[in-house]
Amino acid sequence: MGGSLFADAVPAVGESKVIDGVTYHQHDVIIVGAGGAGMRAAIEAGPNASTAVISKLYPTRSHTGAAQGGMAAALANVEEDNWEWHTFDTVKGGDYLVDQDAAEILAKEAIDAVIDLENMGLPFNRTPEGKIDQRRFGGHTRDHGKAPVRRACYAADRTGHMILQTLYQNCVKHGINFFNEFYVLDLIMSEVDGVKKPAGVVAYELATGQLHVFQGKAVIFATGGFGKVYKTTSNAHTLTGDGVGIIWRKGLPLEDMEFFQFHPTGLAGLGILLTEGARGEGAILRNASGERFMERYAPTIKDLAPRDIVARCMVQEVAEGRGAGPHKDYVYLDCTHLGAEVLETKLPDITEFARTYLGVDPVVEPVPVMPTAHYAMGGIPTNNNAEVLSDNTTVVPGLYAAGECACVSVHGSNRLGTNSLLDINVFGKRAGNNAAEYVKTAEFAPLPEDPTAEIRGLIEMLQSSTGTESIAAIRKELQEEMDRNAQVFRTDESLGKVTQTIHGLRQRYRNIAVQDKGKRFNTDLLEAIELGFLLDLAEVVVFSARNRKESRGGHMRDDYPNRDDETYMKHTMAYLTGDPHSADAADHIKLDWKPVVITNYQPMERKY
């Protein structure tokens, strides 16, 4: 399939053609992922260039739809606010590991991002005057930390769901090409004039088991997070880090992978999320004796401290014997004083979740909660234009990333609530605009002679496997070990245990059995591939966490409890340099550092 004969056979832009059993497509812009970031990018790119959006799910099933509480923007509709306060809160909330130029962009462009969504038809809650209503959220303050502020724009407690529906409707309006239930399994890179750039992606069609090659001038990754490395998580079963894992296997770096956020209010034992918007409306965290314990830890903003602080305080309450329940292993979220009207109108989903999954009615009794793995602050390194970096500064031409899979870094070591829905809109928009501009002058990079060879070999190996190991058993052991030893509190000893477990699971992974040998809707096969990504990413998280001998944001080291700005005020950059099956992670992972961009706010002690 090489040379000019193959070039002549490639379909025209926007068309497809079957060659040797593989379907080839050609579009100017290829977007991988149809959540908020992917569809926001598509709305910008679609009217200006031939755009294809490839999603492992039907777009409105993407995990953006699970986001509940709101989207931050200093609209000042309810009380005085401005984007500079929002910038400061983002930097301070991220424990000063935030790149401050990116935070300024986020806060400045937040206002237009909300108005864009309103103009697209998103049904925000309204004030009596008809303006977009706003409520409080953790870590968002007025006057640089003096008091909580109402900054979160919201649609009840299903804001993410509304954003997803609105973006999809607008993508349909623009005639965007969607390829739903296609799993992207490989990024095709080509060298042109000594520079590596994306040539396209290889995808597996779930309905048929056929492989597809999407050739594009620009590729945008918007594939979401990888919370399924943990057992107790708010993340859906599909959040297995495929996009981040693909980038990792291509030898491109990952940034700040040790920083994972544990949302304070997951339903105890289940991890199903109860929005921080509940505390924004006035809900209170209490221990077994009914004490409002956050007053001791964050006297100014109490229950609305940033998520990393609240999660640690909850775990500490339990560790010190003040937990509730028969095993004293959770605390309470008390909403009873809010009244039925507030709960049923402003927080209807979480009210129903508590009733359905725990049999608890928040109107009359407190809800058992504990932290749940929620959000990856780290991921694919990008600059402020959403361009992917191959080192600290070098751009990979034509390759973009946005949303949770990307690390701008606008969240630093701890993301503020409501900044994620903002992130996907601000940087999704930037990715789409910049990709559309790039393809105006770029050429298609050449495809290799057999672009599906690697993935076809992987699929054939897995389907012909006669192994005895269970995919589900390996995944369960990985998730339980990560919960046990790499969650809210970590030590070198605990992280060392996870490292040994992952190495053992890698050896067992070589002997997995894929029971389903068919082609149509073979989820058994895809879960085997996803497990490979989970093992890769869990190892990078743990290896980076062992290397950062300090406590900062979502990374709390019991053996190094203090923040160490002199040594660690810098981003971790991890590179895959060898065979991941080697016994010592240091044999195949190399760590480097990247400076933090500081503009207006020098690192200070975080007091709330």
Q: Is 467 annotated as ligand-binding?
A: no
Q: Give the residue ranges of DSSP H helices in 440-548.
A: 453-463, 471-485, 492-509, 523-547
Residue 598 lies in a domain: no
Is 151 one of the annotated active-site residues of the chain? no
Q: Are residues 280 and 364 in the same domain?
A: yes
* Tens digit of each residue's pLDDT (9 = 90 or more) over 331-388: 999 999 999 999 999 999 999 999 999 999 999 999 999 999 999 999 999 999 999 9
Per-residue pLDDT for 442 more than 80? yes
Let me know whether 341 and 250 are in one domain: no
For residue 300, the SS3 value is coil
- Residue 404, marked binder: yes
Q: Is beta strand 22-32 parallel, antiparallel or unpaired with respect to 51-55? A: parallel
**Is 8's pLDDT higher than 60?**
no
Residue 444 gets which letter from DSSP? Answer: P
Residues 546 and 485 in one domain: yes
Query: What value does the mean pLDDT of the chain take?
Result: 94
- Catalytically annotated residue among 307, 548, 557, 606: 307
Are residue 350 and residue 303 in the same domain, yes or no? yes
258 is in an annotated binding site: no
Tell whether the model's pLDDT for residue 559 goes beyond 80. Answer: yes
* d(C-alpha 426, C-alpha 408), whole Å: 11
* HEC readout, 198-243: EEEEEEEECCCCCEEEEEEEEEEECCCCCHHHCCCECCCCCCCCHH
- Ligand-binding site membership of 156 (annotated): no
Q: Are residues 180 and 240 in the same domain?
A: yes
Is there a single domain that holds both residue 198 and residue 337?
Answer: no
- Known binding residue 339? Answer is no
Last residue of a domain, one of 370, 395, 419: 370
Whether residue 334 sits in one domain with residue 391: no
Q: What is the pTM of this model?
A: 0.95
179 and 39 belong to one structural domain = yes
pLDDT exceeds 80 at position 12 = no
Range of the domain at 322: 275-370
507 and 458 assigned to the same domain? yes
Answer yes or no: is 532 a known binding residue.
Answer: no
16 is in an annotated binding site: no
CATH code of the domain in which 304 resides: 3.90.700.10
Query: Quick check: 3 pLDDT over 70?
Result: no
Number of domains in the chain: 4
Residue 401 lies in a domain: yes
pLDDT bracket for residue 168 (50, 70, 90): very high
Query: What is each CA distance from 442 to 192, 193, 201, 436, 439, in whole angstroms?
Result: 12, 13, 17, 10, 5
- Assign 9 a pLDDT band (cuts: 50, 70, 90): low
Q: Which of 349, 370, 391 is the last residue of a domain?
A: 370
Task: Give 385-401 pLDDT, tens digit per residue.
Answer: 999 999 999 999 999 99
At 10, is the pLDDT very low, low, confident or very high (cuts 50, 70, 90)? low
Look at residue 336 and tell me if it is in a domain: yes
Yes or no: say if 540 and 585 are a contact pair by the CB < 8 Å rule.
no
CATH number at residue 434: 3.50.50.60
Distances (CA, A) of 465 to 172, 461, 469, 517, 529: 41, 6, 10, 10, 13
- Answer yes or no: is 93 a known binding residue: no
- pLDDT for the residue 1: 37
Identify the pLDDT of residue 329: 94
420 is annotated as contributing to ligand binding? yes
Is the domain of 472 the same as that of 555? yes
